[in-house]
Structures are given as C-alpha cells and as structure tokens.
Chain A
Amino acid sequence: MSAHAMSMHAPRSHAASAASADPYNLKPGEHSTGTTIMAIPFDGGVVMGADSRTSTGTYIAVRVADKITQVHDRIWICRSGSAADTQALTDYLRHYLGQLSVETGRAPTVKTAAHLMRRMIYENKDNLMAGVIVGGWDAVDGGSVYNIPLGGSLVKMPFAIGGSGSTYVYGLVDHKFKEGMSKDEAKALVEKTVAHAMARDGSSGGIIRTVVITEDGCDKQFIPGDQLPFGP
C-alpha cells in the first residue's frame, strides 16, 4: 500500500493537471488512458473533447475508446489516468447525481457534480490514479468547466486540458484561447488542439470525440483518424 503511494508521487511532480501515461505506476494488467482531454465553456454551454487511445505500455488496447462519459442529463466527464479508476468513479458519480436529482427535484449543478467527484478522488487519493475534467450546463452558472487533477484539487477554469498529451499543447491553447468564444469557435479549437496533441503524444491517438452540451441537448460527434485537422 505504501509502495503504491510512493509511486503516486512521481506523476504529481509532472505538469499540474497532466496524468502521466507512465505505465510503471499501474498495477500489472491495468489499463491506462494515456490521453488528451479538453473542455472549453462558451456562452450557452460547454464543448468537451478527447482522443480515443487506451494503451497498456506501448500496445494500444482500444483504438476507439470513449473517454467522455455522461453522468447526468447535462453533465459529462472527461476521463484520464487509469481506465478502471475513472470508470468506477464515474459510475459512483452517476449514482449519486441520480439520487440527488430525485431528492431535490431539479437537475444538479455542474458545481455539485465537480465537488462530489473531487471528494471521491481526494478521500481516496492514495489508491487512485484519476485526473478528470467535469463539464456541463446548468441553469445557475450556464456552461462551466472544472478541472480535477491527480491529488483531488478542484479548480474552476476558463478552459481545461488534461492527460499526457496536454503537455504538448499548453502553448497552442495559451495562444489561441480567448474568453467569450462562440460554440463553433470553441469546437474548432478543441478539435485542433486535440489533433495537435495526438500528433506528438505517443499515448494519444485514434479519433477525436467531441460532445457539445447546451441547454437544449447534447451533441456527440467524432472525427475519424484519417480526417483530423492536423497530423497524426
């Protein structure tokens, strides 16, 4: 147990929000989502994007994985880190949010979802390797994005990138991002950024999945690997 906790410190010393795709922190046989994930809020909603590569070491276990998971009607999670850990966490979160919405009679806010997720990650930080981005639309705040990196800190952000591939595109996003983008601008930036990350990160690749969440609904799309805006 303590040995595993020790090995957890290595990825934390890397970039702030990146879950390292280093396979040596995984238990034997465990899958990692060496990944690129991203979310940008716009006026009226959120665009979330991710690549589709799940790797164990250098073998691509799944080349069309779905890393953006729905936990409520208008709340989605981008998952990075250990696939098992993040799948378990999102299952729990879906359960809690379902219960909450029945008890309160209204849709939970993204802030609530993010805080719940953060509690789960923080209180089990020694046993988990999960970095997530919680994004969605609610009537209180509109579109919002929360980044929850490895240790369980919760940061509300104007945009969020995560995963091992994110380290390659910090410069690009810093350059291109501006506040108050429209839906199409945000979607284009997400697709372009994820494509650039996939071009350079060996642990990211495949297709680009995007989800656009607005008050009216959720629009799930993907760009095939041979029609990427850039690369591979």
Chain B
Amino acid sequence: PKASSYVTSHGLLLRSSLGVPLLCRGVATSFRRTGTLIAPPHNHKVLASLAFACIAAIIPLHHRPPRLGLAVSPSRLVSAISSFLILLHLLLVVMSAPISLAPGGSSSRISARAGLEAATERTRQPIVTGTSVLGIKYKDGVMLAADTLCSYGSMAKYKDARRLTKINDATLLGAGGEYSDFQSITDLLKRNALEDKCTADSLYEEDVNEECAREVWNYLRAVMYNRRNKMNPLWNDLVVAGFSQPAGVGDASADEDKPFLGLVDKIGTTYEDSVIATGFGSYLAIPILREKHREDLEEGEARALLEDCMRVLFYRDCRALNRIQIAKVTKADGVLISEPYEIETSWDSASFVE
C-alpha cells in the first residue's frame, strides 16, 4: 500500500504537471493567432488540462500521506500545485469571458455575432425594393422599361420612384432591388462621368471620350463583385443599355459601334443579350420577348412589346404597378427617358365567375 500510494501520488503530480505545458501552449497559440492575450474558449487542450488539474486537485485530498521523511509530504505538494493550477484555470475562464482587448469584440461575442446582422459587416436584407426591369435591342438602339413602384416589404409605398437613369449621353441604367443601393451606384457613376469630363484632353464637345455602355457594364461588374467578396453586396440587379464604342472615337468603324444591352447582378455575374429582364420579368417576360423580338423592330413595335410584357407583370407580380417608364438610347437622340404613364389593363375575364 505504501509503495503504490507513493507511485500514485507521483503519477498525479506528473499528470497535473502535464496540464501546465498544455495550458501554456494553448495560451501561446491564441497569442500568436490573435495578437492578444485572449483565452481560446473552444481549445480542447485547454479544457483537457483544466479537467486534469481538477482531478489532480480533488484526489490527493483523500490520500494518506506516505511516510517518507520529507519535510513536505508529496501529496500535499501535489495538492498545492494543483490548487495553483486551478486558480490559473479560473483565471483562464475569466479571461475568455466578455472582457477582451482585441478590436472588434471578444471571442464569445464573435460566435454570437453569427446571429446578428450588423449592417456594416455582413449581407443585409433589402428594405425598399424595385421589381423587374426589361430591356430589348431594336433597330435604332436599345429600349428599357420599368415601373415606378418601390415597395416597402409588401406595402406599395413609393409610387413615383424613378428606376431608370441616364449616366451619360450614351448610357442608360436601370435597376431592380434595393433602391438606396441603386441611388448610390448612380452617384458613383455620375461622379466618374463628371471626372472624365473635367479631366478630358480637350474641352471641345466633339473630342469628348465618354465611357460607353460596355465600359460602364464592365466597371459595374468589378464594383458588384468586389462588394460581394466583402459579404456586403449592393442588392441590385442592374441593366446597362447603350452602345459598344465610346462616343467621339473617330476611328471606330460602323460595325463596331453596335447597340449594347447587358445585365450585372448583385454578386457580379454579367451577361449581354438582345433581350434582358430582371426579377419576375426573367420568368414571365423573357419568354414573350424571345418569341417576339427581332433585330429590326421599329421603335413603336419595340415599345408595344415592352408595354405588353409590363402588363403581364402587373397582372402577375404582387410588387408591380401599372405605371411605367420607357427609356431609349439611340445614336441620333442620345438618351431619352419618358415621363411615367399608366398602361391599359384588361379585366374581362372577371366576368367568368357568375
């Protein structure tokens, strides 16, 4: 019994002393990783060493000290070391509590933040939203259509919101999704256009080298993708319409400067096509547009086609309105955006019921 108890007490001492290097290693790793002395809350090694120390502390209390003639009995020594380790671990637990020196919040708050939607750091949800935007290429250029409604959830709050804007004389932008993000994008593009104009080589109008629609489209791709990488997207589906070559570039041959119509979505996906639609339009309007579209549509035909699609959208989209705007970009007239007007709707089928 004496020898076994001696060995056991030494074993306990050994075990508890293992806890110390584990603890130190845990703290050192956290120090290296975060640069500050935060206790890692989910470090298993730390928890294991804590468990060891608790066990090591409790057991010697029930142990009879063996008679070895030492000044201090080993078990008491063990219990002294263990109680010191327990205090150290308690300190550890306290350190992993909300108090932290790291910028951006403590470790326990970091895990809680997964549930929060802090607007500055994570994707948020759209609040005031616009619905579909449609676009088609036609004989003279490109035409866009959008309604003038911005919804606040399910409420039709702003009935005269303008979702089509002119960027410069050759580019038109339309957007569905969060209205504030669209306004911010418009500001950004207008700022760029102004800067281009003020830093141009020449002040003469004919020498001006404005960004063409294709360049704006590509720039927006970079902007949207960049925001997406920060998990904080601009919540819009953008439609860019215009021409492929910058205005005023003298050497551009006629067949290079074609009408351009492209889409940029909220995560930076881009594509160009002869017919484009966002939101509900991509389900309801695209089939109609593809069926009826021709490259040589006259302006009146193109407008009728777009109106037809907007009517279907008003019938079938809860967030649509029958008040729409049509906008076009042409070589001759530049960018023209119409005033909002109401489209006709048919409710004859209501008489089917009784």
Q: How many angstroms between the C-alpha atoms of A222 and B350 in the bound complex?
A: 8
Question: Does A36 sit within 8 A of B, measured CB to CB?
Answer: no
Q: Name which residue of chain B comes closest to A168, CB basis.
A: B155
Complex interface: chain A residues within 8 A of B316 (CB): 59-60, 63
Partner of A63, one of B154, B155, B156, B315: B315
Q: How many angstroms between the C-alpha atoms of A132 and B350 in the bound complex?
A: 22
Tell me the minimal C-beta distance from B163 to chain A in angstroms: 16
> What is the number of contacts between chain A and chain B, taking CB atoms within 8 Å?
65
Tell me the minimal C-beta distance from B180 to chain A in angstroms: 19
Q: How many angstroms between the C-alpha atoms of A19 and B322 in the bound complex?
A: 26
B154 touches A203 (CB 8 A): yes
Question: Does B318 sit within 8 A of A, measured CB to CB?
Answer: yes
Q: How many angstroms between the C-alpha atoms of A207 and B346 in the bound complex?
A: 10
Complex interface: chain A residues within 8 A of B155 (CB): 168, 200-202
Tell me the minimal C-beta distance from A223 to chain B in angstroms: 9
Given the contacts A225-B345, A226-B345, A59 and B317 also touching, CB distance less than 8 Å: yes
B350 touches A224 (CB 8 A): yes
Complex interface: chain B residues within 8 A of A201 (CB): 154-156
Tell me the minimal C-beta distance from B79 to chain A in angstroms: 51
B350 touches A207 (CB 8 A): yes
Question: Does A186 sit within 8 A of B, measured CB to CB?
Answer: no
Question: Does A206 sit within 8 A of B, measured CB to CB?
Answer: yes
A52 touches B350 (CB 8 A): yes
Complex interface: chain B residues within 8 A of A52 (CB): 350
Complex interface: chain A residues within 8 A of B157 (CB): 200
Can you show 30 pairs from A to B with CB atoms below 8 A apart?
A53-B318, A58-B318, A58-B319, A59-B317, A60-B316, A60-B317, A60-B318, A63-B315, A63-B316, A64-B347, A64-B350, A64-B353, A66-B353, A66-B354, A199-B156, A200-B156, A201-B154, A202-B151, A202-B154, A202-B156, A203-B154, A205-B318, A206-B347, A207-B347, A220-B354, A222-B350, A224-B348, A226-B346, A226-B347, A232-B322
